[in-house]
Structure 1
Amino acid sequence: MTLNLSVDEVLTTTRSVRKRLDFDKSVSRDLLMECLDLALQAPTGSNSQGWQWVFVEDADKKKAIGDVYLANARAYLSSPSPEYGEGDTRGERMGAVRDSATYLAEHMHEAPVLMIPCIEGREDKQPLGGVSFWASLFPAVWSYCLALRSRGLGSCWTTLHLIRGGEEKVADIVGIPYEKYSQGGLFPIAYTKGTAFKPAKRLPAADLTHWNAW
């Protein structure tokens, strides 16, 4: 199923979906690959295309990955929330964000599919590293999320499994060559409960914009 959404609608309503993921409805491999074919049109540095994509359907492996994520998430989510000024929409939403993040951490393994996007190399061993390194993966990853949204599926870009040795643990679980490939996140993939999503409250663009100088 492809939703009849304009480009602007897809861009403004692709949310981080946590509580509205339907864990009971299966997702076909054909659909996952259809979205990947679209995502692979994204640009990469020097046309390197050094990406690899790991999809995990096996229940035992999902549980093992979920356990790594949950352990790291509990430590992270127990830390104090950032403080924002009065009237700042980020502060107003922080409680709901923390609540939904906790829910996803506890149910990550229940998603029909977990996806781990990888890029060839290790950031600390690249001559440019940093932004230049990840810029060859992240455009395709976000394209994948947009493709999911346009077909009635959702996901959430999570990274907590990467800390505290978790990346290497997950690499062992699914056989990713840790020294050769870096993981760019962990994505639960599922159909969404309902397909109507609204634009989120964001800081005004004018407050974030500089012309010719800071």
Structure 2
Amino acid sequence: MDVVDAMRTTGTCRYFSGDPVPEEVLLSAFDAARFAPQGGNRQPVRWVVVRDAERKRRLRDWYLEPWKAYLKGIGTGDIQVGTLPKVVTDADHFAEHLDEAPAIVVCCAELDGLHPTDHALGRLSVVGGASIYPTAQNFCLALRAQGVASALTTLLCGYEPQVKELLGIPDGMITAAHIAVGYPAHGFPTRLSRTPVEDIVFSETYGTPLAPSGA
């Protein structure tokens, strides 16, 4: 599959068919994911594949708490989920049925393998994620190339102590994302909605659009 086609059609899947994803498919995706860029080639990312039904239910129950709190804050009064935009109702279905995904992959990282260079700027430090999330996206793209869908979420990261205990994740490791994996129930999107490129790319100074050559 062409890499650009993969990038343009790897959306967040919220409805899975339930068919199991073979180990060799997952291993192939993990193998490709390793080649993402990371600071100093420290390779801090580790993975835990969760298939056990009870463990997945535990993860779903923890996920539902922050999701329902977020959902409650949308709109006012006794708003019904069915009256919300489709993207929200789809996300609610995903939350309610998270445990039905064939696998939930926990993306972990070694703290000592991260090297944030922005921690003294007086704002949220984000640079450490540069050694984690490109690998996670590579994993999702490699799955897409094999016809497997995914949904990356960070809501469960707030339950890191519980997740680490449930899955035996050792000290010195963090949980950076949880990725639901499975074959899509309704196929892949043909077009994802994104901000136009002319609104997000600038030349020399912020706000000055980058125009095509000859324009």
TM-score range, shorter chain: 0.7 to 0.9
Q: Structure 2: any 5+ residue segments left out of the alignment? A: 76-83, 120-124, 207-215
Write the letter of the residue equivalent to 1:175.
G
Q: Give the AA of the match of 1:10.
A: A
Report the Cα distance in structure 2 between the residues aligned to 1:126 and 1:147, rounded to whole angstroms. 27
Cα distance change on mapping 1:123 and 1:37 into 2, 3 Å: closer
Q: Distance in 2 between matches of 1:199 and 1:181?
A: 36
- TM-score, normalization by structure 1: 0.83
What residue number does 1:150 align with? 145
Pairing partner for 1:18 from 14, 18, 35: 14
Give the fraction of aligned pairs with identical amino acids, expressed as a percent: 30
Range with greater deviation from structure 2 (132-141 or 189-198): 189-198
Is structure 2 residue 104 aligned with structure 1 residue 114? yes
Q: What is the root-mean-square deviation of aligned Cα atoms in Å?
A: 2.2
Query: C-alpha distance in 2, partners of 1:196/1:157?
Result: 15
Residues 71-121 of structure 1 show CA distances to partners (whole Å, capped at 9, x for unaligned) of 22111122126xxxxxxxxxxxx8122111100100001111110111111
Q: Size of the alignment, in residue pairs?
A: 193
Cα distance between partner residues in 2 of 1:211 and 1:50: 34
Displacement over 4 Å in runs of 4+ = 122-129
1:29 aligned partner, one-letter code: E
Alignment partners' CA distance in 2, 1:52 and 1:39: 11
Q: Does 1:80 align with 2:85?
A: no
| Counterpart mapping for 1:26-175 below 5 A | 26-80=20-74, 95-121=85-111, 128=118, 130-163=125-158, 166-175=159-168
**Separation in 1, partners of 2:166, 2:97:** 18
**Structure 1 position 213, deviation (Å):** 1.1
**1:1-50 Cα shifts (integer Å, max 9, x gaps):** xxxx322211111110002x112x11111211111000001111001001
Which stretch has the larger CA shift, 196-205 or 123-132?
Answer: 123-132
Larger Rg: 2
Gaps of 5+ in 1: 82-93
Q: AA paired with 1:140?
A: T
